[in-house]
Structure 1
Amino acid sequence: MNMEFITIEEWDEAWWGRMEQIYHEAFPSGAKTKGILRSMLNRRIGYLHAGGIRGRLLRWLLRVWWDKLRTRS
């Protein structure tokens, strides 16, 4: 069984729909808002990575380029 892996560079509502439940389960309080996450992708300072098996999303993460964030402030 192989895990599928995807990197999302631009905001995608369909992917967010698949990720949102997992995100809120992982961060029941203190989670970044959808708007903040979308802004990070739009500004190209963050990327979403998702992994799943047979089309079932199991994990995802947000990667932020802090050096890009500092130069854009």
Structure 2
Amino acid sequence: MLELEFTTIEEWDEALWARIERIYHEAFQSGAKTKAILHSMLDRKLVIYTRACIMEKWLRWLLLDWRGRLRTAS
């Protein structure tokens, strides 16, 4: 069973960004926002809606292969 942990942040966390930046750019191979834009969105509290979209794309990338089929354990 897949277990996910969700974390809500209210301020930019440089250490967290360092850990997730690669995953973010892999999930958004086209259309990724710049670090400055994401930082600004968080500062203006505009990330709530965007976070849901990011999570959906990230989960799709994590769970599905390039054909849209569920990945299997190797």
1:16 maps to 2:5 = no
What is the alpha-carbon root mean square deviation over aligned residues? 2.3
Q: Aligned pair count?
A: 51
Please name the residue that 1:42 is paired with. Answer: 43
Structure number with higher relative contact order (C-alpha < 8 Å, ≥ 6 residues apart): 1
TM-score if structure 2 supplies the norm length? 0.56
Quick one: percent identity of the two aligned structures? 63
| Stretches of structure 2 lacking an aligned partner (at least 5 in a row) | 54-74
TM-score if structure 1 supplies the norm length? 0.57
1:30 maps to 2:31 = yes
| Stretches of structure 1 lacking an aligned partner (at least 5 in a row) | 48-60, 65-73
Q: Which runs of 4+ in 1 moved over 4 A?
A: none
Give the helix-richer structure, 1 or 2. 2
Max radius of gyration: which structure?
2
